[in-house]
Structure 1
């Protein structure tokens, strides 16, 4: 059974619209400081909130981050301490073994000194050969001391680092209603999108996908590291990924579809079958436990886009690419998916 790269929408629901002008998505570039300032502006505009509330929110977030870092530091130091004790134990054993060998050599040398005074040269030679054979008996050599942490410890440290992604780089992008297909229903908080059989009556916009049930987020990333999560547990089919703002919006061609051209990358869920798409190339993934949430980590400067099972932070796939334009989080929706709010990451996990 082949892996689908998308579901053809019903003609009655998704009719391509004619357009003579190319589309370009001009959403703003996200920065961490800009996000906090916008949040502060909203809070100050509400009479129920205060500066104290903002301070408490920031303090709480950094307290959770510090707690997670302290726990991971403690775990890492404990593992290093265990390795240190193992290494010291092996060194002590080697020292004791070498002391025994030195003692045996000293005894053998004393015997030979005694034999050399024997007038019977045959007795001396026999004694010398006996000592030589005793020294030639192979002894079990001690294993070399470890020069680095073992693979289990390294994997544990990598898992600990992945756990910090939501706390350190967590983002909560919101959907751009000007980009969403007209039959996609978007929640008031701009994070849940559901495929609907009813047109939403949105006005024509050059950024709107005319055919495919897709939407991009308003936020774009052109530097730094960013992490967000999408709840895919209640949908049979969807795609989670990123795209340049220059992705075409009109028509049914592959150039408009997430993952089918060189301007977008995505992870696809088709029931319990997972794959990744870029440039029209589909790569099937082995996912023993289908994730309820998909985590997306973008390191724009390093050219790294990684997908994780956010339930366990197990890695699913990574793209290595030199990015040349700002990237927008994007979704292809078969049923309903939700972008998670990671502003209180530790409390939601």
Structure 2
């Protein structure tokens, strides 16, 4: 009996061992396959990264060449224009040199004639009955007519031509000014109308009737606690959402010492004290924060301290769906502050603002949307 039991036990152990071997082998094959997929994916990602760098390099080189060509055209046009003006200047100066030389000769001759006339006059005065002996009978004939042809008023630059050149250069300046800065013109073309949704605003935030500004107040307003409303974080999002194309929004933050600006999916948590409710702290939103004179970019709770010392009066957000990117710029001079690359967005995006507490009056100014819809929002 014991022998049979041991045999059965042995068979059971062998079965379990075999089953475990098969399970481990199966898992081993899955891991090998997963490793190969990960290797291929890593290779593809590295190739994609290299391709992006190459494309960016080609684009930048092409732009540099165009700017150099523009500069060469302007430099050549400047040289040609100045050479024409300098040729006219040389001709006028040369003519005036000749007239000055002629006038100088006339002055010397006049001095000689004056000396002779003076000497003759003195002789006549001493010898009243004597006839003067003129060595140069032409002295008496030289007078005002001798100055003919030495006037400078007949020599001048071509004033009409100079005015035309100045007019053309002014027009060229206005044209170039209208086309530059290139980035400013580009992002301004993405400008999208937007207004804030009061139904999403924290009860201590005051939204203007036009929906174009948000201000912190120390009064908790009794408002319906709908699922849309932020109840802890001082956030408000736009009424409009965007899911394709390129968009640009510009906010005036003049006089503020603290603010958060960004974009968010509609799924951002809005209730309680969870960190995900704050802009940029979860997967649902991207933001740049200004606090204590420093800028920090946030996404997924990861802070990126920005090496920016200038306090901008206006901040711009460029949301590019085709590129899957969100870029923040100092709109005063269009300097890039930070760019997030999501690759692609999984949902529509809203503009999101947080004006922060007033900090004893030091942060009482509103955030104003510069390209807000002029009419009141429909809610």
TM-score, length-normalised on structure 2? 0.49
Identify which of 358, 366, 369 aligns with 1:339: 369
> How far apart are 1:288 and its partner, in Å?
2.7
Kept after mapping to 2: 8 A contact 1:183/1:200: yes
Identify which of 222, 226, 236 aligns with 1:205: 226
Q: Between Structure 1 and Structure 2, how many residues are aligned?
A: 202
Is residue 289 from structure 1 mapped to residue 310 from structure 2 by the alignment? yes
> How far apart are 1:213 and its partner, in Å?
0.6
User: What are the superposed Cα offsets for residues 152-172 of structure 1, whole Å, 9 maximum, x if unpaired?
Assistant: xxxx9x973311145311123
Identify which of 66, 69, 72 aligns with 1:80: 69
User: What are the superposed Cα offsets for residues 104-145 of structure 1, whole Å, 9 maximum, x if unpaired?
Assistant: xxxxxxxxxxxxxxxxxxxxxxxxxxxxxxxxxxxxxxxxxx
In the TM superposition, 1:158-173 aligns within 5 A as 160-173=181-194
In structure 1, distance between residues paired with 2:309 and 2:272: 36
Residues 342 and 169 of structure 1, relative CA distance in 2, 3 Å threshold = farther
In the TM superposition, 1:224-303 aligns within 5 A as 224-303=245-324
Instruction: Indicate the SS of the match to 2:236.
Output: strand
In structure 1, distance between residues paired with 2:345 and 2:217: 34
Is residue 191 from structure 1 mapped to residue 208 from structure 2 by the alignment? no
> How far apart are 1:80 and its partner, in Å?
2.1
In structure 2, distance between residues paired with 1:209 and 1:343: 23
Residues 194 and 241 of structure 1, relative CA distance in 2, 3 Å threshold = same
In structure 2, distance between residues paired with 1:78 and 1:283: 33
Partner in structure 2 of residue 47 of structure 1: none
> How far apart are 1:342 and its partner, in Å?
6.3
User: What are the superposed Cα offsets for residues 34-57 of structure 1, whole Å, 9 maximum, x if unpaired?
Assistant: xxxxxxxxxxxxxxxxxxxxxxxx
Residues 277 and 85 of structure 1, relative CA distance in 2, 3 Å threshold = closer
Residues 177 and 343 of structure 1, relative CA distance in 2, 3 Å threshold = closer
Kept after mapping to 2: 8 A contact 1:239/1:332: yes
In structure 2, distance between residues paired with 1:192 and 1:256: 21
Instruction: Indicate the SS of the match to 1:82.
Output: helix
Residues 329 and 81 of structure 1, relative CA distance in 2, 3 Å threshold = closer
- Structure 1 residue runs without a partner (length 5+): 1-75, 88-155, 345-349
Instruction: Indicate the SS of the match to 2:183.
Output: helix
Kept after mapping to 2: 8 A contact 1:172/1:339: no
In structure 1, distance between residues paired with 2:74 and 2:213: 52
Bigger relative contact order, structure 1 or 2 (CA pairs below 8 A, ≥6 apart): 1
In the TM superposition, 1:93-108 aligns within 5 A as none
The structure in which a higher percent of residues are helix is: 2
> How far apart are 1:79 and its partner, in Å?
5.2
In structure 2, distance between residues paired with 1:203 and 1:285: 38
Instruction: Indicate the SS of the match to 2:271.
Output: coil
> How far apart are 1:77 and its partner, in Å?
7.6
